[in-house]
Structure 1
Amino acid sequence: MRTFSGFTLILLAATTLASAQAPSPTLEERMSQAEFHAAGLQKLSPEELQQLNGWIDSHGGSTVKYVSASGAPVFYPDSSEKKVIEQHIVGTFTGWRGKTVWTLDNGQQWKQSEGGLLNAGKIQDPAVKIKPMLLGSWLMYVDGCGCSIHVERIK
C-alpha cells in the first residue's frame, strides 16, 4: 500500500508540474472579437490587457476540457507545431467588414473568420502577427490599431 501511495504522489506532482508550465490562453484567445468588444476590453492598453491576463493566469484559471455532444473527449492537433507569422499587410488597412481578405507581403492571403465590423481608420502596410490558437484557429494582431481578429488562411 505504501508503494502505491508513493507512486500516486509522484504522479500527482508530475501532473501538477506539467500543467503549471503550460501557458494559459489569453482573453484574446478565449473570446471572439464580438465578445471581446462587448466586454469593453478593446479600450485597454496592451499593458493593461497583459496585466489582466496575468492576473487571470495567477488566480487559478480553470482547465478547459473539450467534449463532443455525447460527452466523449475530443482531441485536437497540437497547435505548437504551427508557427507565429509576422508580416505586413500589403496596402492600406481600414479594419474589417464581415468577409474581409488581407494579402501579406509574403504572398499569403487571410480572411476574416468571425463576424463583426471594425473601422480602424487608415493604416498603411501595418505589421501583423498571426498566432495559432486553440482548436486550430488563428488570431491576427494588427500593429497600430491595437486590434485583433480570428482569421483563416485561404492562400
Structure 2
Amino acid sequence: MRLKIGHLSLGAALLLLGVAAFAAEFSSLEERMSQSEFHAAGLDKLNPEELKALNEWLRAHGTTTTVTQVLTPSGALVYYPVDSKREAFESRIDGGFSGWYGKTVFRLENGQEWTQTESGQFSNGHYDHPKVKIKPALLGSWLMWVEPCGCSVRVERTK
C-alpha cells in the first residue's frame, strides 16, 4: 500500500483542525458562570494560578451535556438533558381521590408526588386508588389523566 505525502499532510491538517475546533468550544468557568454564580461557588477565592489550573483540568477532562431550561406553568425552572426523553408512565394514586382544589398534592403508589399547577377545582365522586397516566405536555409541563373520571389536570413533580 502506497501513501502519498499529500495524503499524510491532509490527515495531519484534519487532525489539527479537529483539535483546534475542540479548543475553540471550551469556555472557562468565568465565561460560563455569572459573576454571582462564580462568587457563590467560592471561585473568586482562587488565585489566578489555581483558577488557570482548574480551567485546564476542565479543558482536559470536561465533557458537557447540553440541557434545555424550561419554565413550568407555575414558573418553576426545570432542567432536562436534551437527549433525555420525557416519557408517559402509569401508576395509581396512593389512597382516595375526589378531585383537586388549587394546589392539590397527588401521592402515587410508586413514591412520587405531583402537585397541581393550574388553577381551578374539580370534583366528580370519590375513587379508591385510581389509575393515573402522567404524560409530557407543552412547554415542559405534565398532564395527569385520572382514568375512572376521564379528567386531567396539569401537574409538576415535587418528589
TM superposition score normalised by structure 1: 0.49
Query: Which of structures 1 and 2 has the larger relative contact order (alpha carbons within 8 angstroms, sep 6+)?
Result: 1
Higher-Rg structure is: 2
